Amino acid sequence: MPGKNLSRDEAQQRASILAVDGYQVRLDVTSAPDREAGTFRSTTTVAFRCSQPGAGTFLDLLAPAVRSVTLNGRALDPATAYDGARVHVDGLAAENVLTVEADCAYSRTGEGLHRFVDPVDGETYLYTHYEPADARRVFANFEQPDLKAPFTFTVTAPAAWDVWSNAPHENVTEQDACRTWEFAPTKPISTYLTAVVAGPYHVARDHYRRELADGTTLEIPLSAMCRQSLAPYFDADEILGVTKLGLDFFHEEFDYPYPFGKYDQAFVPEYNIGAMENPGCVTFREEFVFRSKVTDAAYEGRANVILHEMAHMWFGDLVTMRWWDDLWLKESFADFMGSYGLIGARTRYSSAWVTFANQRKAWAYRQDQFPTTHPITADIRDLEDAKLNFDGITYAKGASVLKQLVAYVGSEAFFEGARRYFKRHAFGNTELGDLLEVLEETSGRDLKAWAAAWLQTSGVNALTPQVTADAEGRITELAVLQDGDVLRPHRIAVGLYDRDADGALVRTGRIELDVTGARTVVAEAAGLPRPALVLLNDDDLTYCKIRFDEDSLENLRSGLGDIHDELARALAWSAVWNLTRDGLMPARDYVALVLRFAGQEGNIGVLQSLHAQAKTAVDLYADPAWRGEGGRLLADGALSELREAVPASDHQLAWARFLAQTAGGAEHLGLVRGLLSGSARVDGLEVDQELRWSLWLALAAAGQATDEELAAELAADNTASGKRHYTQCLAARPTAEAKAAAWSAVIDSDELPSALVEANTAGFSIPSQRDLSALYAAPYFKLLERIWAERTIEIAMRIVGGFFPIAQADEQTLAEADAWLAGHPQAAPALRRLVLERRDDLARALRAQACDRI
């Protein structure tokens, strides 16, 4: 496969003849502070063996220029050896040494070596991000996960900077206002896991010590870092505290000492994802450094990510999938361990499984109902496929299935299997069968059928209770009906709920059983009093959508907020949201539930999810004729709850933000402006910088923020975050000129980093301004292939998804999407997948609107 892609077949062929002994990588980034300098010097020396002497192969490299290529002392002509994406070599010996010297490009898209200049103080910061295949933007290599090797990095940088990599540094020398950092060799790791972080970062340091079972002491130096201008907001003690709890927990559960020496955590600017598990040098998006007040859900989310990345040190770094088909072998486990670890590590976040049920699974359900859904063990043909498979299936569905597996085999058998897996495959690569082998050993179960049902098929089942009762109100039969293209075995709990003396809905009975086939009778329920609510999948053991019998649903309409247990309540909220998305409950009914019961919701993460879902229900799923009324109802509800919320509470802040998202009428916008000017106040509500930008966005979208006002706010917050918010506010203004400017900024230039691309597309696509953005639907479809060909995949994905005209949610836009798909069968499969998924969102919105139409 030519160009920048790499096919699975090519990777397999290369791995069949090569074994890599080690890399020496020298980077000179002394040019980084010069904004006019576009490149840095990269020199790679790789030692590798070839089982077929005389054969040829290639290294992967994306660089503006290659200066020299030397194979076993023989100089090759870069003009013929390098084709822009690959360095071709032939006549290999049994043992080879290849050196490639190149000028590589600083990145502004978060792919490769990203360079950021802080607008606050002018300081320059660098960091790398590679997954799945962008190490080749920084040094020449064999860019596939199964050609592991030790890496020795040497980095020359400005003298005032510090530099980090995967391994500890062994030596630092200074000369001519530069310092050269020489790092120890790493353990054998994959190319995409290597890392370099460089710049004048603010650093907090700590230390972790643990006595091991063999009598030795494990010592792990810890650090956490961020930009200097964020240092006043950096709660490093909290971050490092969670880190140490996690290290205790994973050592107890995995019984394999942390293998990578030190543990650095860098919070970096303009990061494209949440975090990356580079061994010994984890990178996080710096939005996890909170400049303003956030709810406790944000702290829980950050702690979850810290433990997710830490789990990767074992699942993914120590033992790595052979190819991206088995990406789930690391991501599903890390996603599961993020939530499991919050409980097991005894952090203060005791509601982790509520968050998992309410948020992570919502992502999985959405992804699994696309026509592009895929098995957890996916068919990944090439790197473009791999890039798109970092999705809700690989992460959240995979984690949900692992939670089901723990219920199925027992937690001790599961973790004993993990221990054997690490010891057996340390520093190696694995496939599905390797994991099943150890789990079968420890559980005594044949897991092949389980894997075939859960890992090798796609789609989500719906489970519905079928209840019959006699004249005395006792259950004569309770059955569980299972729908779906593939019927799977489910281990579930059936919860029976009735009102107590205080009027709360509490669990009065719990029956755990295996559900198989289309209909399973719950024998233990016979003779029990018919409850007010039958809740399938109580305790959230399996992965499914749950439905309700008619009586249960009616009782939920009048009492959902009365469910005492927060996990059960979250499951009920998730279920009614799925009913709404599936066109089985009118959107206005869902909105009514939120308006009636969200004020009672104690879990702040669930409340914030309800806000987002209610907004989507009005914007996309409601009958267009009711949208205006629905929007007013949400804004009125937000205003009422804001006034009633406990002063200075997380709930007060959440309702203030929701008011900013829904404000449209004079009363709402008047309060918004009053909060900004100080002429109005809500007792206990601090209008800090992040909330100010939320309020300015509301005014900008309503056409009530002037250029001068927005510019003055940016001048007061001249930071990277301020620039993002300012850009979104400009794009959100309800004028043709604002939409044209946002469109042009993204489409007509490739200078914007990912963060500003997203800010422009978010402001451009305000749902209430669909008449303005509708003009761009036809141009959007015409330029898709050009954007895909000319931009990096990271930027192209944001443009394709961000500018898709979903807000139109009408038959004409659906027809335009269908026409593009029909007329471009040969477009890149990854591009077609993105368009097909957005098209499916649009079709789902139309079905939901039909359900809501009266």
Averaged over successive runs of 10 residues, the pLDDT of the chain (854 residues) comes to 76 97 98 96 98 97 98 97 96 98 96 96 97 96 98 98 98 96 98 98 97 92 98 98 98 96 97 96 98 97 98 97 93 95 96 95 95 92 87 93 89 95 97 93 91 94 97 96 94 96 96 95 97 97 96 96 97 98 98 97 97 98 97 97 97 98 95 97 97 98 97 97 97 97 95 93 96 94 95 93 92 96 95 96 97 91
Strand partners, 396: none
How many CB atoms sit inside 10 A of residue 266's CB?
Answer: 27
Give the CB-side neighbour count of residue 229, counting CA atoms within 13 A.
19
Cα dist. 160→35, 216, 656, 661 in Å?
A: 17, 37, 43, 43
Residue pair 758/802 in contact (Cβ under 8 Å)? The answer is yes
Q: Tell me how far CA of residue 375 lies from CA of 389, 455, 537, 844, in angstroms.
A: 11, 6, 22, 22
Those residues whose C-beta lies under 8 Å from the C-beta of residue 655, and which sit 6 or more positions away, are: 638, 641, 642, 645
CA 746 – CA 801 distance, rounded (Å)? 13
Please state, in angstroms and rounded to a whole number, the distance separating the CA atoms of residues 481 and 518. Answer: 6
Residue 159: name the closest of 189, 124, 200 by CA.
Answer: 200
- Say which residue the tokens 């063996």 belong to: 49
Q: Which two tokens stand for residue 81?
A: 């050896």
CA distances from 698 to 659, 703, 798 (A): 9, 9, 23
Q: Which residues are catalytic?
A: 309
Rounded distance, CA 24 to CA 100, Å? 11
Positive or negative: CA dihedral 287, 292, 295, 299: positive
Q: Looking at beta carbons, which pairs linking 207-210 to residues 24 or more positions away fall under 8 Å?
A: 208/243, 208/244, 208/247, 208/263, 210/247, 210/248, 210/251, 210/257
Instruction: Check residue 806 and give its pLDDT.
Output: 92
* CA neighbor of 547 nearest in space, from 432, 630, 467: 467
Bond prior to 269 in cis (omega within 30° of 0)? no
Interatomic CA distance for residues 674 and 643, integer angstroms: 15
Q: What's the gap between Cα 608 and its chain centre?
A: 17
Q: Which two tokens stand for residue 162?
A: 């510090």
DSSP code for 457? -
Decide if 575 contacts 583 (C-beta within 8 A).
Answer: no
What is the predicted pLDDT for the residue at 751? 85
Please, which residues have CB within 8 angstroms of residue 582's CB and are 6 or more apart in sequence? 545
* Residue of 190, 543, 503 lying closest to 332 (CA atoms): 543
What are phi and psi for residue 668, nearest 5 degrees?
-65, -50
CA-derived radius of gyration, the chain: 28
Q: How far apart are CA 158 and CA 171, in angstroms?
A: 16
pTM: 0.95
Cβ atoms of 478 and 496 closer than 8 Å: no
Query: Is 321:327 a contact under the CB 8 Å cutoff?
Result: yes
Query: Which residues partner with 140 through β-bridges?
Result: none
CA distance 173 to 180: 5
The residues, ordered by sequence, that sit 6+ positions from 140 with a Cβ below 8 Å of its Cβ are: 42, 44, 46, 59, 60, 61, 87, 100, 102
The encoded tokens of residue 300 equal 């829980």
